[in-house]
Amino acid sequence: MKNMTCPACSITIEKALDTVPGVTAKRIDTQAATVMVAFDAERTNAATIAKAITDAGFPATAKADANGG
């Protein structure tokens, strides 16, 4: 993810994710520039989550986790 340069970035991303219905958990790692999101697939999808993060100023792309999620 681009533009994630400081701890305050995680607050902006968290607020953006809070606006997405169906997000059930999130973990933001500013050092690795990654965001892990758990969500209800019946209420949202990875593309919608990536768009919310991108719209907050942090260009993001969806990538499945190692567990196939």
pLDDT digits (tens, 9 = 90+) for 21-49: 999 999 999 888 899 999 999 999 999 99
Name the amino acid, one letter, at 57: G
Q: pTM of the prediction? A: 0.84
Residue 56 pLDDT grade (very low, low, confident, very high; cuts 50, 70, 90) = very high
Are 16 and 59 spatial neighbours (Cβ–Cβ below 8 Å)? no
Say if residue 62's pLDDT is above 80. yes
Q: Report the pLDDT value the prediction gives residue 14, as an integer from 0 to 100.
A: 95
Directed axis angle between helix 46-55 and helix 7-18, to 10°? 130
Are 11 and 21 spatial neighbours (Cβ–Cβ below 8 Å)? no
- 41 or 5: which leads in pLDDT: 41
